[in-house]
Amino acid sequence: MATQTQIPVEDQRAPVIEPGHTFSTIGEKVSNIVLKRPISLGWVFGFLVMFSLMNMLLFALGYLFLKGTGIWGITIPIGWGFAIINFVWWIGIGHAGTLISAILCLLRQSWRNSINRFAEAMTLFAVACAGVFPLVHTGRPWLAYWMFPYPNTMNYWPQFRSPLIWDVFAVSTYFTISLVFWFVGLIPDLASLRDRAESPFTRGIYGILAMGWRGSARHWHRYETAYLLLAGLATPLVLSVHTVVSFDFAISIIPGWHTTIFPPYFVAGAIYSGFAMVLCLAIPIRAIYGLEDFITPRHLENSGKVMLATGLIVAYGYGIEAFMGWYSGNKFDSFLLWNRLHGPYAFWYWSLLATNIFIPQLLWMKKFRTSTFWLWVISLIVLAGMWLERFIIIVVSLHRDFLNSSWGMYYPTKWDWMTYIGTIGMFLTAMWLFVRILPMVSIAELRTLLPEAHVEEAEEVER
């Protein structure tokens, strides 16, 4: 505290973009990563590792389609297991991108401009990974289209009163809107790449993707309106997605699930893990690709602060769950609390408290928020913690419900692990390709941050 009061906060903040850049150096620096930089051995090696992990996923899924979900550790009473844990974990990670792009855009946080592109890409890949799980968990994924309402010869329709159908709509809308939001942001930068590309082939590819964007003032005007409206639409959407995911639990009557705190607590947890993933990827990428000028310590520190704030909301959620277990006087709720603290999964509950609540408190100290090493380590710990949170919510609540005769234990099999680790491979494969194919920092938006970009309306506007 003493050190904080003697330093004026304004002077200490790192800039959003390092001084000395011009319109063309920004374009050059960002587009050269895609257009000029040779492919390094490290990139190839990393790509091969991630690509093999992704193939492990395909193998695990192939075997799953052959044998059915019996190859997983799910049984009755724990019918949800890894599939839903990983679904919720990935979809939570996928929250940071749209939060950064939409909510921070509406709040005019200019520091978002250098990390939004990259975070949105991360969102898309994370939501794609999330989508794998409910799909394969249905057991017969080739019939998954039955979840969508369409007139069919079976004369059957989905049940719109079910949270599982709400989830289908929420997640597919979220993916679609995140995709178009990301693409709209990319259009001007694709035009930049088109104009910079030297070979006719790359020029052609980026030219097709840029769709003939030429930076006309009329186009920019409509573009900015559309972007702002998309941000406004995506803001309630991003908050709704994890709310709806939490309804999958909260609408049921299982102790530990049937609670009204779930929606806000899930959303906070999602943003928490999303920012952890942003930091986890941004810290190595900015070092490898020399983007320290654009992703400055200010970005990292701000992300650390968001993690701290959302982590505290999550801590409050745990506190209320524990309090209600005791205060409600409901014997099933109080048993759940006892079972979490002392039951067979107690070790994991205490690990959850350590990784998600106690260790991230280090972020109160500026030393940890400004050290890339510590931020990276803490973000990995938070990612593990948020995974454990979903494990505790799903497995511990299900494994001992109302009837002792239906109690059981959950043991994930190697297929569960292969599928889970495989999706991490799929996510990172996509990230690996993304950093080399598309500009990972928004060139046009960074340019607007330069002082030269600001104009003064000297003359009166005649209409």
Partner 1 sequence: MSESSVYGLMAEFDSPQELLEAAHKTHGAGYKKLDAFSPFPIEGLADAIGFHKNMVPFVVLVGGIIGGLSGYLLQYYVAVITYPLNVGGRPYHSWPSFIIVTFEMTILFAGLSAVFGMLALNGLPQPYHPVFNVSEFAKASENKFFLVVFSTDPKYDASRTREFLKGLAPRAISEVPS
C-alpha 438/C-alpha 365 separation (Å) is 36
Q: Which residue has the tokens 């408190």?
A: 361
Q: Examine residue 158 and tell whether it contacts partner 1 (CB under 8 A).
A: yes
Q: Examine residue 252 and tell whether it contacts partner 1 (CB under 8 A).
A: no
**Of these, 32, 240, 328, 372, which contacts partner 1 (CB under 8 A)?**
240
> In this structure, are residues 14 and 301 in contact, taking their beta carbons and an 8 Å threshold?
yes
**Of these, 198, 218, 253, 403, which contacts partner 1 (CB under 8 A)?**
218
Q: Examine residue 216 and tell whether it contacts partner 1 (CB under 8 A).
A: yes
Q: Examine residue 236 and tell whether it contacts partner 1 (CB under 8 A).
A: yes
C-alpha 102/C-alpha 237 separation (Å) is 10
Q: Examine residue 108 and tell whether it contacts partner 1 (CB under 8 A).
A: no
Q: Environment class of residue 219 by beta-carbon count within 10 Å: exposed (0-12), middle (13-18) or buried (19+)? A: middle
Side chain identity at residue 129, one-letter code: C
User: Cβ of residue 353: shortest distance to partner 1, in angstroms?
Assistant: 32
Choose between 194 and 400: whose C-beta lies nearer to partner 1: 194
Choose between 22 and 52: whose C-beta lies nearer to partner 1: 22
Contact range with partner 1 by CB under 8 A, out of 2-10, 214-222, 261-269, 318-326: 214-222
- Ramachandran region of residue 211, left (φ > 0), alpha (ψ -120 to 50) or beta? left
Choose between 187 and 312: whose C-beta lies nearer to partner 1: 187
> In this structure, are residues 407 and 400 in contact, taking their beta carbons and an 8 Å threshold?
yes
User: Cβ of residue 445: shortest distance to partner 1, in angstroms?
Assistant: 7
Q: Give the H/E segment covering residue 51.
A: helix 41-67
Q: Examine residue 106 and tell whether it contacts partner 1 (CB under 8 A).
A: no
Q: Examine residue 107 and tell whether it contacts partner 1 (CB under 8 A).
A: no
Q: Examine residue 247 and tell whether it contacts partner 1 (CB under 8 A).
A: yes
**Of these, 3, 6, 153, 159, which contacts partner 1 (CB under 8 A)?**
159
Other beta carbons within 10 angstroms of residue 150's beta carbon come to 8
Q: Examine residue 211 and tell whether it contacts partner 1 (CB under 8 A).
A: yes
Question: Binding to partner 1 (CB under 8 A): which residues in 187-206?
Answer: 188, 191-192, 194-196
C-alpha 60/C-alpha 414 separation (Å) is 9
Question: Binding to partner 1 (CB under 8 A): which residues in 61-100?
Answer: none
Closest CA to 290 of 12, 23, 40: 40
C-alpha 109/C-alpha 432 separation (Å) is 28
**Of these, 145, 156, 347, 373, which contacts partner 1 (CB under 8 A)?**
156
Choose between 177 and 352: whose C-beta lies nearer to partner 1: 177
User: Cβ of residue 15: shortest distance to partner 1, in angstroms?
Assistant: 19
C-alpha 355/C-alpha 209 separation (Å) is 43
User: Cβ of residue 5: shortest distance to partner 1, in angstroms?
Assistant: 38
Question: Binding to partner 1 (CB under 8 A): which residues in 113-152?
Answer: 149
Q: Is the dihedral of CA 299, 385, 248, 420 positive or negative?
A: positive
C-alpha 336/C-alpha 59 separation (Å) is 37
Q: Examine residue 225 and tell whether it contacts partner 1 (CB under 8 A).
A: yes
Choose between 114 and 429: whose C-beta lies nearer to partner 1: 114
Question: Binding to partner 1 (CB under 8 A): which residues in 438-457?
Answer: 444-445, 447-448, 452-457
User: Cβ of residue 151: shortest distance to partner 1, in angstroms?
Assistant: 9
Contact range with partner 1 by CB under 8 A, out of 84-92, 179-187, 272-280, 370-378: 179-187
Residues in the chain: 463
**Of these, 220, 323, 327, 402, which contacts partner 1 (CB under 8 A)?**
220
Q: Examine residue 373 and tell whether it contacts partner 1 (CB under 8 A).
A: no
**Of these, 54, 83, 115, 170, which contacts partner 1 (CB under 8 A)?**
170
**Of these, 58, 184, 365, 437, which contacts partner 1 (CB under 8 A)?**
184
Other beta carbons within 10 angstroms of residue 203's beta carbon come to 16
For 387, residues 6+ apart whose C-beta sits below 8 A from its C-beta are 85, 89
> In this structure, are residues 244 and 108 in contact, taking their beta carbons and an 8 Å threshold?
no
C-alpha 441/C-alpha 443 separation (Å) is 6
> In this structure, are residues 231 and 105 in contact, taking their beta carbons and an 8 Å threshold?
yes
C-alpha 179/C-alpha 397 separation (Å) is 35
> In this structure, are residues 307 and 316 in contact, taking their beta carbons and an 8 Å threshold?
no
**Of these, 2, 39, 217, 403, which contacts partner 1 (CB under 8 A)?**
217
Closest CA to 397 of 405, 407, 412, 382: 407
Site string for partner 1, 385-424 (x = CB under 8 A): ----------------------------------------
- Which residues of this protein are in contact with partner 1, per CB under 8 A? 22-24, 27, 149, 155-161, 165-166, 169-170, 173, 176-177, 180-181, 183-184, 188, 191-192, 194-196, 211-226, 229-230, 233-234, 236-237, 240, 244, 247, 444-445, 447-448, 452-459, 461-463
